[in-house]
């Protein structure tokens, strides 16, 4: 679960790592926190980690000045990520 992305609520737009949430709990004196795991959404959109923005599939590629193929030659950009949304179920973490 170390690399899992989690939402603060079922209605959030942004998700964060488990480490981020644990640090948030420490800073705010929380012993328990309810979180929603992120699930991948199959759609015609993607998330660009470089620009921190949502884009339409087909707009990511050599025409972008931040394009860096994962294999170093061609293909999918290393900044390309699938879009996510909160899962229907939640988990409770404690520290």
The string of DSSP letters for 51-71 reads TTEEEETTS-STTSTT--BTT
| Residue 58: per-residue pLDDT | 86
- Name the helix (H) or strand (E) containing 22: helix 18-27
- Which residue ranges make up each domain of the chain? 5-94
- pLDDT tens-place string over residues 18-50: 999 999 999 999 999 999 999 999 999 999 999
The whole-number average pLDDT for the span 65-93 is 93
pTM for the structure as a whole: 0.76
Share of the chain above pLDDT 90, in %: 79
Model confidence band, residue 2 (pLDDT cutoffs 50, 70, 90)? low
């Amino acid at each position: 679960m170390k690399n899992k992305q989690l939402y603060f609520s079922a209605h959030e737009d942004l998700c964060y790592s488990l480490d981020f949430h644990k640090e948030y709990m420490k800073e705010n004196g929380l012993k328990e926190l309810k979180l929603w795991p992120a699930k991948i959404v199959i759609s015609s959109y993607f998330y660009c980690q470089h620009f921190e923005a949502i884009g339409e599939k087909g707009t990511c590629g050599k025409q972008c000045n931040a394009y860096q193929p994962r294999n170093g030659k061609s293909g999918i950009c290393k900044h390309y990520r699938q879009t996510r949304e909160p899962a229907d179920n939640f988990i409770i973490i404690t520290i």
